[in-house]
């Protein structure tokens, strides 16, 4: 009993110790602001229209609301870019009235998300062409 309790406490301390540096790294990343005027799908989840701050760190993209609360997080492959002269932006695929997040560009990174099963099904079921929608961030 005593060994189990000590093991549990030890593992808990280890997990807390590992989580603190990760959260500190993420919070240290400067955010990009974007006003998204439509609901969109990202990582199989629908995100409502609104103003968001995006933080990108090592493949993790976090969407924070105006109060700084995490609304959504998604992991993808990040490509280092040196596009200091380019405007940060969000790129969506649009099918009818449904938007899917495809890319996030910052001055340092380009993050591209794969096409989900839902997007594939929608694309196959609609006769309308895919449109690309680009929103600038600041």
Residue 82: what pLDDT?
65
Task: Kindly state whether residues 44 and 108 are assigned to the same domain.
Answer: yes
To the nearest 10°, report the CA torsion of 73, 133, 34, 42. Answer: -10
Q: Is the pLDDT of residue 97 over 50?
A: yes
pLDDT in tens, 8-53: 444 444 444 444 344 434 444 558 899 999 999 998 899 999 999 9
- The CB-side HSE value for 106 (13 A sphere, CA atoms) comes to 19
Task: Kindly state whether residues 36 and 23 are assigned to the same domain.
Answer: no
Task: Kindly state whether residues 7 and 62 are assigned to the same domain.
Answer: no
Domain count, the chain: 2
Domain range enclosing 13 = 1-30
> Which of residues 128 and 110 earns the better pLDDT score?
110
| Residues in a beta bridge with 93 | 100, 132
Task: Kindly state whether residues 21 and 52 are assigned to the same domain.
Answer: no
Pairing of strands 32-36, 89-95: unpaired
Residue 77: what pLDDT?
75
Task: Kindly state whether residues 90 and 22 are assigned to the same domain.
Answer: no
Task: Kindly state whether residues 95 and 76 are assigned to the same domain.
Answer: yes
Task: Kindly state whether residues 91 and 132 are assigned to the same domain.
Answer: yes
Tokens coding 28: 């240290």
- What residues contact 133, with CB distance under 8 A and at least 6 apart? 91, 92, 93, 94, 99
pLDDT in tens, 44-80: 899 999 999 999 887 789 999 988 999 999 988 767 6
Contact 133, 99 (CB under 8 A): yes
CA distances (Å), origin 123, targets 96, 99, 113, 129, 134: 9, 11, 16, 8, 19
> Which of residues 56 and 90 earns the better pLDDT score?
90
> Which of residues 99 and 21 earns the better pLDDT score?
99
């Amino acid at each position: 009993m005593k060994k189990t309790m000590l093991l549990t406490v030890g593992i808990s301390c280890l997990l807390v110790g590992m989580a603190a540096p990760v959260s500190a790294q993420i919070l240290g990343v400067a955010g990009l602001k974007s006003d998204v005027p439509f609901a969109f799908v990202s990582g199989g989840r629908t995100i409502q229209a609104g103003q968001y701050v995006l933080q990108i760190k090592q493949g993790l993209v976090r969407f924070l609301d105006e109060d700084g609360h995490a609304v959504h997080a998604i992991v993808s492959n990040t490509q280092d870019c040196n596009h200091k002269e380019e405007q940060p932006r969000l790129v969506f695929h649009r099918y009818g009235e449904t938007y899917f997040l495809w890319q996030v560009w910052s001055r340092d990174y380009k993050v591209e998300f794969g096409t989900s099963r839902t997007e594939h099904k929608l694309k196959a079921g609609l006769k309308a062409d895919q449109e690309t929608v680009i929103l600038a961030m600041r």
